[in-house]
Amino acid sequence: MACEKFVVNLYVRVSTDRQAREGDSLEEQENELKRFCEFRGFHIHQLYIEKGKSGGNTNRPEYKKLIKDIEAKKVNAVIVKKLDRLSRSLLDFENLMTVMQSNDVEFISIKESFDTTTAMGKAMLRVALVFAQLEREQTSERLIDVLDFRASQGMYNGGIRPYGYTNIDKELVPYKKEKEVLELIFKTFLDTESTTMVQNTLNESGLKNRNNNPWDKRAIEHILKNPVYIGKLRWKDSLHQGNHPPLISDTEFQKVQDIFEGRKCVRDSQKMKGLLKHLLECACGEDMRPSYTKKKNGVVYQYYRCASSMNPAKNQNCGHKYLNMDATNQFVFQTLLGCAEEAYLSQMKARIDSHNQKIQAQIDASETEIEGLESHLNEIKAKQEKYLDSLITHQFTTNERQLINAKLEEFSLQEKQARGTIYKQRFEVSQKTDQFISSDTLKKALIFLKVNYQTLPDKDLSKWLSQHVSRIVYVSDNKVDIRFKLFDDLVV
């Protein structure tokens, strides 16, 4: 390139975190480069300013313009304040040097005093770049270590914000508007066991997702399977106890997972409409599934089949492999009708009172624990204030100040963990409060069944069962254990 003056391009770059940490601002770099050119008598062709871009790759708009100037032979040299301003990648810089050399363009770095016109300068340049890349890789490793530690301490590492939460100061906080929809999703799924029904319910109610679009059942299934709603955080391949408050109880979440688990192996027999479908369980612990056999004369024989009969390893432990469907249905409902008798209702009330007393004792214990946690939280705050006051009122060495700041960070983490535990305990108290039982609800349901049993169609009987019964265990030909949803430990 023929020109009377030594023409140069200036390149400055800064990433946001480096600017904040080192004060190596764009303005400071620019001023230093211009003073250097003035001292050396260089003519500045162009100043390229790269804002908030990493030096780890070449996907930078101003960098690409610089390359075009080099290839067009518009300059004699490229000047930067420091080597890592131009590139932190050894491979990228090698490629850049090849382009510079083929176009007779020199490279000058003020801080490192590199001069590519000499062999020693080129060698020293490569050595420095190796260390620049090493620093970058070590920074990346440290960042990964920090994220792993944060996850192990139950702290949120970012990413797509879970539905039902908002992100405040890098912490997950319940978002009331979405939380109400989330609770509706779980409740509807538990009632219908269908993501399609949940989708229809939400869309028919005019409820939109976060992007203001209609709900999709795949997104609903993802929400239903996400452990973040019971206070867990998934990081890499592990689950950690999070500091954020749960939005769904463990029991409710597990019931949802059990429904999904039960769908993994769908058989033709499961498509039958048995009244006791999903409720009846064999004494051996396996499900009793609706099935049928079609005789040669065309008669269909319907029955409940123990799942152990499909597994040779378990087959020998079961004494009730097949149960006549009509007889079993009638036996179960006769047992339920017996629950509407005064003797059983009195016994049920006594058990429910005992249950309520246990719940109250658990609530009292949780309240005591919350008081202890709040006292511990106040102690942490007091220590924080003491250390902060010492920083203001005393003179410390740099090392001492670093130790105090590290201690303050430790207190801050302890405070977040304590607050998270307190919130979780209060959430559990709220959940336990909901577990108080009034015998009136079940009593009325049983009396309703007794009065209307003979006239209710199978559809209404099935609905009654799904509303009030959680499990039916076929113990023997003259005994079944019926567990009610209102009080799962209450055995008929």
What are the distances in angstroms from CA 36 to CA 9, 25, 41, 47, 437? Answer: 12, 17, 8, 14, 82
* Residue-range definition of the domain harbouring residue 77: 7-149
Residue 317: the pLDDT is 65
Residue 316 binned pLDDT confidence (cut-offs 50, 70, 90): low
| Residue 15 bears catalytic tag | yes
Residue 212 lies in a domain: yes
CATH number at residue 68: 3.40.50.1390
In a domain, residue 348? The reply is: no
Q: Are 263 and 197 in contact (CB under 8 A)?
A: no
Query: Is residue 426 located within the same domain as residue 329?
Result: no
pLDDT confidence band for 334 (50 / 70 / 90): very high
CB proximity list for 331: less than 8 A, separation 6 or greater: 480
107 and 72 in a single domain? The answer is yes
- Same domain flag for 135 and 24: yes
Is the pLDDT at 23 greater than 70? The verdict is no
Query: Which ranges of 153-274 would DSSP assign to H, the alpha helix?
Result: 176-192, 195-204, 217-224, 250-262
Shared domain for 49 and 183, answered yes or no, is: no
Residue 344 lies in a domain: no
Same domain, residue pair 208 and 256: yes
How much is the pLDDT for 403? 86
CATH number of the domain residue 208 falls in? 3.90.1750.20
Spacing of C-alpha 410 from chain mean position: 24
How many Cβ atoms sit within 10 Å of the Cβ of residue 192? 14
Tell me, yes or no, whether 451 and 418 share the same domain.
Answer: no
In angstroms, rounded to a whole number, what is the distance separating the alpha carbons of residues 154 and 243?
A: 5
Count of structural domains, the chain: 4
pLDDT of amino acid 24: 58
DSSP label at residue 264: S
Tell me the mean pLDDT in the region 289-310.
Answer: 81
Q: Which of 415, 435, 455 is the last residue of a domain?
A: 435
Last residue of a domain, one of 149, 184, 218: 149
pLDDT of residue 368: 92
The active-site residue out of 15, 25, 309, 462 is: 15
Whether pLDDT at 265 is above 60:
no
The answer on pLDDT for 131 being more than 70 is: no
